[in-house]
Amino acid sequence: MKLKLTILGLLALSSLTYFVAKNRVICPKSDEFALCKELAKEAQLALGIPQERHAEVVKMQSNDPMYTYPAYCSNENDKIYVNTEMLSQIPYGGKRCIFCHESVHIKYNDAKSTPKVENRADTEGFYATGCSQCTHEMAYGRSLQNEDELIKDGYLTSKEINKISADLKKQHKLCQYHKDNKLTYA
Binding stretches for Zn ion (CB under 5 A): 5, 93, 118, 121, 131, 133-134, 175, 178
Residue 44 or 133: the one with the smaller Cβ distance to Zn ion is 133
Burial of 4: CB neighbours in 10 Å, binned 0-12, 13-18, 19+: middle
Beta strands in 18-156 (DSSP E): 56-59, 71-74, 79-82
Burial of 84: CB neighbours in 10 Å, binned 0-12, 13-18, 19+: middle
136 neighbors 159 (Cβ within 8 angstroms): no
The whole-angstrom separation of Cα 141 and Cα 46 is 23
User: Rounded to 5 degrees, what are φ and ψ at 155?
Assistant: -75, 155
Min dist CB 1 to Zn ion, Å, is: 17
Min dist CB 23 to Zn ion, Å, is: 12
Min dist CB 128 to Zn ion, Å, is: 12
Residue 32 or 80: the one with the smaller Cβ distance to Zn ion is 80
Min dist CB 98 to Zn ion, Å, is: 9
Residue 6 or 89: the one with the smaller Cβ distance to Zn ion is 6
Residue 55 or 175: the one with the smaller Cβ distance to Zn ion is 175
